[in-house]
Amino acid sequence: MNGSKEKLNRELLDASKRLSTQTVLFHQNVAAYLGLNITDHKCLDLVLGKGQVTAGQLAELTKLTTGAITSVLNRLEEAGYIRRVKDPADRRVVLVEPVYENLRPLHDVFGPLGEAMSELHARYRPEELRIILDYVDRACQVLVRQAELLERKSERQVPNK
């Protein structure tokens, strides 16, 4: 019995790797469809998720430099997907927000994806979907912890000079 659990675990790890790769490749294609690079696309996704964010917050979330984030925001603004606005509570702060009326291309991509995923979900009973959801949530938590560990290791490494 233990051998079959180990085999199932290996198969699940392999399937997770394939899913991860397909997710990255899908988002690369989404970025190209939107006329963006993958970093710009995922930064736009973060802005959409937050509704409003400062450039500094976006830099912190992505671990990109503030200079790199400025370039990302310039490209997203030029494409018409975001705008910069003054924070009404503190006019010194600039907020980044989506320009929802210009996001039709996202709906063109993610609408059909949502429909296809709903069809996939329909194959499962609600209790199975709860288990899948639990797994995905826990897998995300594992990835967050592993990313934090890598970040700490990277900070401790001193480049060879």
- Tell me the C-alpha to C-alpha distance, in Å, between residue 10 and each of 5, 14, 57: 9, 6, 38
Q: What is the pLDDT of residue 161?
A: 43
Residue 154: per-residue pLDDT: 85
Q: What is the mean pLDDT of each run of 10 residues along the chain (161 residues)?
A: 88 96 96 95 96 94 94 97 92 93 95 97 98 97 94 77 43
How far apart are the C-alpha atoms of 34 and 119, rounded to whole Å?
A: 25
39 burial class (0-12, 13-18, 19+ CB within 10 angstroms)? middle
Identify the DSSP state of 102.
G
Residue 93 C-beta-side C-alpha neighbours within 13 Å = 12
Q: Check if the beta carbon of residue 16 is closer than 8 Å to that of residue 8.
A: no
Task: Identify the CA nearest to 55 among candidates 102, 93, 98.
Answer: 93
